[in-house]
Structure 1
Amino acid sequence: MTSITEVKKQRLSPPNVLIKTWCTLAKDEDEQVSMHAMKMLLDTFGDLESIVEFVKSNNIKV
């Protein structure tokens, strides 16, 4: 059975291609670009551990 929290996460989760883009931009040489991408990831997932879990479970290469 799926918990309510998991359902909310699924509904609020952006498309994988957007997460891939943010991960790529997080490695950008431009500090402003990199910081903004990390902010977007952290605002979406809440913490680094959740980002890593999502990336691994969706086979997103970083």
Structure 2
Amino acid sequence: MSNHKEVKKQQLNPPNVLIKTWCTLDRDEDEQVRMHAMKMLLGTFGDLESVIEFVKNKNIKV
């Protein structure tokens, strides 16, 4: 299936507050906190481009 990534994106609907939290933690001064937040974002979305697209589409301020 060549559109597997597109299908996954369409099915993705994490709570906005969770994404806001991870984006906030990604700016924390503690490197371990930042790394974990980014790991969670990338694990949920697959890549940074998808994270950015989701945040923009949901009007989440980061």
Partner of 1:44, secondary structure, is: helix
Task: State the partner residue of 1:24.
Answer: 24
Structure having greater relative contact order (Cα 8 Å, sep ≥ 6): 2
Partner of 1:41, secondary structure, is: helix
Q: How well do the aligned residues superpose, as a CA RMSD in angstroms?
A: 1.3
Between the two proteins, what is the percent identity of the paired residues?
75
Could you report, residue by residue, the CA deviation over 1:5-51 in whole angstroms, capped at 9, with x for unpaired residues? 22x22xxx320000000000000000000000000000000000000
The normalised TM-score by structure 2 is: 0.82
Establish whether residue 36 from structure 1 lines up as the match of residue 9 from structure 2.
no
Partner of 2:14, secondary structure, is: coil
Structure 1 residue runs of 4 or more that deviate by more than 2 Å after TM superposition? none
The normalised TM-score by structure 1 is: 0.82
Task: State the partner residue of 1:48.
Answer: 48
User: In the comparison of the two structures, how many residue pairs are matched?
Assistant: 55
Unaligned runs of 5+ in 2: 1-5
